[in-house]
Amino acid sequence: MESFKEKIPMIIAVIIVIALMAGAFYFLVIHKNVYYVQIDNTKLEQVSNKDDMKYQYTLTAYNKNGKSKEIQFKTSRELREGAYIELETMSVRGVVSWKEVQVNELPDKVKTEWNIQ
């Protein structure tokens, strides 16, 4: 029978594997990021006539800290020109939801990027 001291490396390895799996699950499935875009319909392209998501936008988005990122997302309709949209994104799936927000709901650093006072 092995002593407890001989089992310690195996126990530590199992704990590390479980921690890595939990971290990967969190960042790939649970963790969501929020970005903000302003609709510019010149960046709209029609991608399908048969699919429910007929349109695709490719816009510069900003997170709450003002960091920018190019984001693509699809919609079933053309959105209102100039509207502010909050995008909820996930690492693997991309944009998972969006909603229109008012200018007073935008983070201050996002307002700064768009020169909104």
CATH of the domain at 39: 2.40.50.480
CB 85 within 8 A of CB 64: no
74 and 53 in a single domain? The answer is yes
Residue 40 pLDDT = 94
Q: Is the domain of 6 the same as that of 45?
A: no
Number of neighbours of residue 80 by Cβ within 10 angstroms: 11
47 CB-side CA count, 13 A: 17
Q: Is residue 25 located within the same domain as residue 45?
A: no
Band (24; pLDDT cuts 50, 70, 90): confident
* Judgement on whether residues 11 and 61 belong to the same structural domain of the protein: no
Are 39 and 86 found together in one domain? yes
- Top pLDDT among 36 and 8 is at 36
d(CA 108, CA 116): 9
Residues 81 and 108 in one domain: yes
Say yes or no to pLDDT of 1 above 70. no
Residue 61 has pLDDT above 90, yes or no: yes
Structural domain boundaries, residue 17: 1-30
Q: Distances in Å between the alpha carbon of 97 and those of 5, 94, 100?
A: 50, 9, 11
SS3 55: strand
For position 68, what pLDDT does the model report?
94
Look up the pTM and report it. Answer: 0.74
Judge if 81 and 107 occupy the same domain. Answer: yes
1-10, 12-21, 44-53, 100-109: the lowest-pLDDT one: 1-10
Q: Do 52 and 98 fall into the same domain?
A: yes
My answer on whether 25 and 39 are in the same domain is no
* Count of structural domains, the chain: 2
